[in-house]
A and B are shown apart, each in its own frame.
Chain A
Amino acid sequence: MTPATGTGTYTPRPKAAPLPRMIAAQAALETRMLLRNGEQLLLTVVIPTLLLVLFSSVDIVDTGADRAVDFLAPGVLALAVMSTAFTGQAIATGFERRYGVLKRLAASPLPRWGLMTAKTASVLVTEVLQIVLLTVIAFALGWSPHGGPLAVLLLLVLGTAAFSGLGLLMAGTLRAEATLAAANLVFLLLLVGGGVVVPLEKFPAGVQEVLGLLPISALSGGLRDVLQHGAGMPWGDLGILAVWAVAGLAAAGKFFRWE
């Protein structure tokens, strides 16, 4: 009954690892989980790549541009952001919640905000990989982008924030199966109705107005204004994304349930 002292194998020596190391480890693990998951890769890599190649080479939709790729590349970049920050993150986080991963990690030394930071880092790493891949393919298809990199970066960051907020809101409130179904459905609807491969001008005027307020339309429209038409800061689109980001992240922060 006497408490043991000394240095056995299990003698307590509790201490959290330094915060940056914990977050880096968590981000690396999350990224590995994502890159290992076939369904996620289909969503984040295969579909955007296929759409870019297919619609650039085959005249399926009248894009109105001289070269289809100049219209498509910005839209597919927007789709890539949505697929990772929204769809992929929602589904992965939904199942992590369902399988008690979030619960278990909540009892680890990693603080909750650290977990969220790691998730964001993992999303950003994945997006960088997607953008590099899609940019290389687009160049191979004859893409000639314009515009300033700062505007593009701002659009991508705000778009990521907006989609992350919505994805986490869905993952933290719905059942995992419902999240899976809803996230895929939303992906499909926004792919069609968000100016990704189909120009918004193809829709009736009244519908266009509404669709233009969607985060995917703001992101694809903003990227297209800059990259295709060489516009300056697309303040309107940035504003729409900022509103979605603030609303989505605030709602996720308020309603997210960890188990």
Chain B
Amino acid sequence: MRNEPVVQVQALVKRYGTKTAVDGLDLVAQAGVTAILGPNGAGKTTTVEICEGYRRPDSGTVRVLGLDPVGQSAELRPRIGVMLQSGGVYSGARAEEMLRHIAKLHAHPLDVDALVERLGLGSCGRTPYRRLSGGQQQRLALAMAVVGRPELVFLDEPTAGLDPQARRATWDLVRDLRADGVSVILTTHYMEEAEQLADDVAIVDAGRVIAQGSPEELCRGGAENTLRFTGRPGLDMDSLLKALPPGCTAAEPAPGTYRVVGTVDPQLLATVTSWCAQNGVMPDRISVERHTLEDVFLELTGKELRS
């Protein structure tokens, strides 16, 4: 249906005083769910807020749904949904009242009752915003972002500080949005969130995208994975190596403990187990260590994500 990117950012630079928040960032987000992953201060929020039309770039170009977020803001705003990292609601407004208000600003909003039910806001619908729990405030902000039936939703750290149950409810909603053809750009510093939700992950550090791809591509790229098993000592590693695809290594670092390093996929696993079967070896404690986004991040930046 839509093949043009939902977000195109080229050579984006944004400085606050002497501090460079975004430093030549390039990002192309296609329809689907794109996660912008990075530590605090990496420039995620600044980038998203420029896409939302809140700030002007110092240089570079930004197109959202093909539009300039500042110059064509009036055209863009009805088509996007925005969830800020915090706030955005009158402190005296009741949760449901605020959601209904945002709905009224759109011509074809979602059914508010159903959305309230869906996000578990029913019990606090009449509670003033200032007395909602942090999780309830987050869910209300999420509801406000989607109630106008936008094409594209920006979620800035949608699950920060949520308990596991509320996080799962948020994830489920993001999956449903995607299934119904809504594109989502979300920022997060949770690896698991990016792995669970995103078609595409952009890893951001120090104001730049340092890697981008599907979670699978990122975990595969560069980082070798390891398969381990134990068996009787002294198996013939040359014979195993011949069975393996090119580029793999096989070794017995300790007697009876074996390690295969390479691109570990189902095919490789089958190769190793059938070699074992041919050689009458029962591979005990077989395990695969696949690299996670966390490892990828560590390798790319040399630092932990949650710093």
Contact = CB atoms under 8 A, between A and B. Distances in A.
Nearest to B180: A8
Interface stretch (B81-89, B239-247, B269-277): B81-89
Contacts of B91: 95, 99
B77 A107 contact: yes
A175 interface: no
The SS class assigned to the B binding surface is: loop
B82 A104 contact: yes
A100 B88 contact: yes
Which bracket fits the contact residues of A? Answer: 35 or more
A15 B106 contact: yes
A99 to B, nearest CB: 5
Given A14-B106, A16-B77, A106 B149 contact: no
B2 interface: yes
Interface stretch (A66-74, A108-116, A120-128, A162-170): A108-116
Nearest to B104: A25
B101 interface: yes
Given A16-B77, A99-B89, A9 B176 contact: yes
B53 interface: yes
Contact of A5 (B1, B78, B86): B1
B77 A13 contact: no
Interface string A1-39: 101110011111111111001100110010011001100
B31 interface: yes
Which bracket fits the contact residues of B? Answer: 35 or more
Contacts of A100: 84, 86-89
B136 to A, nearest CB: 16
Contacts of B96: none
Contacts of B177: 10
B195 to A, nearest CB: 16
Given A16-B107, A99-B87, 17 more contacts: A1-B32, A3-B31, A8-B176, A8-B179, A10-B180, A11-B180, A13-B108, A13-B149, A14-B79, A16-B105, A17-B105, A17-B106, A25-B104, A104-B89, A107-B77, A107-B80, A109-B106
Interface of A: 1, 3-5, 8-18, 21-22, 25-26, 29, 32-33, 36-37, 95-96, 99-101, 103-104, 106-111, 259
A-B residue pairs, 7 tightest by C-beta: A100-B87, A104-B88, A8-B180, A15-B107, A4-B181, A10-B180, A16-B78
16 contacts: A4-B178, A9-B110, A10-B177, A11-B180, A11-B182, A12-B180, A13-B108, A16-B107, A17-B104, A17-B106, A32-B97, A101-B88, A101-B89, A103-B87, A104-B144, A109-B148
